[in-house]
Amino acid sequence: MRVLGIETSCDETGVAIYDEQAGLMANQLYSQVKLHADYGGVVPELASRDHVRKTVPLIQAALKQAGLTAGDIDGVAYTAGPGLVGALMVGATVGRALAYAWKVPAIAVHHMEGHLLAPMLEDHPPAFPFVALLVSGGHTQLISVTGIGRYELLGESIDDAAGEAFDKTAKLLGLDYPGGPLLSRMAGKGRAGRFTFPRPMTDRPGLDFSFSGLKTFAANTIRANEQDEQTKADVARAFEDAVVDTLSIKCRRALEQTGYKRLVIAGGVSANHTLRERMAIMMQKRGGEVFYARPEFCTDNGAMIAYAGMVRLQSGANTSLAVSVRPRWPLDELAPVASDVAAG
């Protein structure tokens, strides 16, 4: 099966083609970072309009990259949620219309399932079961994964997601949007130990997260100190260390609770080098293994949607002609996929 995937949940337009035999045949991505930079964050109406402009040209570019025509596509997958409702409607409308015109099935894909399955695009994909840490600008969740669609929520953020806290703290440090990657780069120049930030909710049982307090702690630290470049770097280092330590502690608890030996880290923050290093050390000590997607598949992209859509289309699932999106969509509401299909 060969599937065209469309991702338009927020500020990146992604289109890809995935073939169950040949693998990823095309991957096109357009980022709206420059469009939203002047506003310090994503403006939903501008995002939607830009998806309207970019989606069809990217589909044409993906077909050209793969050397295919519309007649070579067996199914269309599109992100239906969670995300910005206007942005989601663009991809859903285009995807459903194309599937109807091409006389192929369409499937509405859960954005976070796409992220969770992104490591399956790699040469060494994880086997089930595993603990998944989904960590991005909008989500921080720990999931027990026993198969595709077999998800149990173990814990999640009760306020800001980790990526959101990164971006907000970066803004406090005067960094441009999107600030998370810039903060991490600045943290690399910071001195460990000058500032010590709390590790929120690690002094109590449970697997939930809270990162809004770290942002407040960072704001207070910034106000109380001279704002030279080294001080900013030291604050960035302390903040990043606190987030990474908190994520590591909670992942270790989840692994102990489930007894699993495999950990998957997915979502935009999973590209963070410090997080990857700490998780690798932790899993090595535990005699387990950690899995990631390559950096370009950590952020939003069409490849993960094409893959997730292919697996669900192979199981016989498809979406009706009605165009419907879900800005809020709990991951554990998804239907399970038969294990033999998932293995394919």
Annotated binding site for Fe cation: 111, 115, 300
Q: How far apart are the first and last CA of the chain?
A: 11
Find the helix packing angle between 179-187 and 162-172, rounded to 10°.
70
Angle among Cα 124, 127, 131 to the nearest 5 degrees reads: 110
Q: Is 87 left (phi over 0), alpha (psi -120 to 50) or beta?
A: alpha
Annotated binding site: 111, 115, 134-138, 167, 180, 272, 300
- Residue in 275, 167, 256 with CA at minimum distance from that of residue 211: 167
**Residue count of the chain:** 344
* Burial of residue 31 (number of CB atoms within 10 Å: 0-12, 13-18, 19+): middle
* Helix residue spans in the chain (DSSP H): 33-37, 44-66, 85-102, 111-117, 162-172, 179-187, 212-223, 229-258, 273-286, 302-314, 339-343
Annotated binding site for substrate: 134-138, 167, 180, 272
Is the bond leading into 82 cis (omega within 30 degrees of zero)?
A: yes
